[in-house]
Amino acid sequence: MSSQKRELYRDPSKGKIAGVCAGLSEYFSMELWLVRIIFISAVLLTGGPFFVVAYVAAWFILDKKPGTDSAIKTSSRVDERPVEVKFKVWQAGEPPRRALQDLKEQLSRIDSRIQNMERYVTSAEFTVSHEINKL
């Protein structure tokens, strides 16, 4: 568990209609499919009007998750996200094996970037560029 204060947002980028279920799944750290099944079951088992009205109200009341606009996402490091491992089936995150594979891929990308930096810093091109900048 993180010590950060979590806020409830709707996430239209992951949502089917407005992203309310996606926001709830992130807030409660549950799988998105499970939140959708719970919501649909609640609508069908109770007759529906209350939960449909609550969904529409949440659609208008909740803010969009910051950073979900495509215009804002200009970073080239989108794939370098924190890996969250789930310990229960219903929790959000990745199974341990997949999380380990993701970490291995991220570390290999970082290792190749470090190797490229080391290759550049030890090259003659860097030495010449550094001496010119000193002038």
Cα–Cα distance for residue pair 71/52, rounded to 1 Å? 31
Residue that wins the pLDDT comparison between 69 and 48: 48
Contacts of 87 (CB under 8 A, 6+ apart): none
Cα–Cα distance for residue pair 117/111, rounded to 1 Å? 10
Cα–Cα distance for residue pair 71/126, rounded to 1 Å? 35
Give residue for tokens 């529409």. Answer: 56
Residue 75 has pLDDT above 70, yes or no: no
Q: Where are the domains of the chain?
A: 1-68, 94-135
Give residue for tokens 């606009």. Answer: 69
pLDDT, one tens digit per residue, over 92-125 is: 677 778 878 888 888 999 999 999 999 998 999 8
Reference 13, options 23, 3, 4, 5; nearest CA is 23
Judge whether 99 and 93 are in contact, CB under 8 Å.
yes
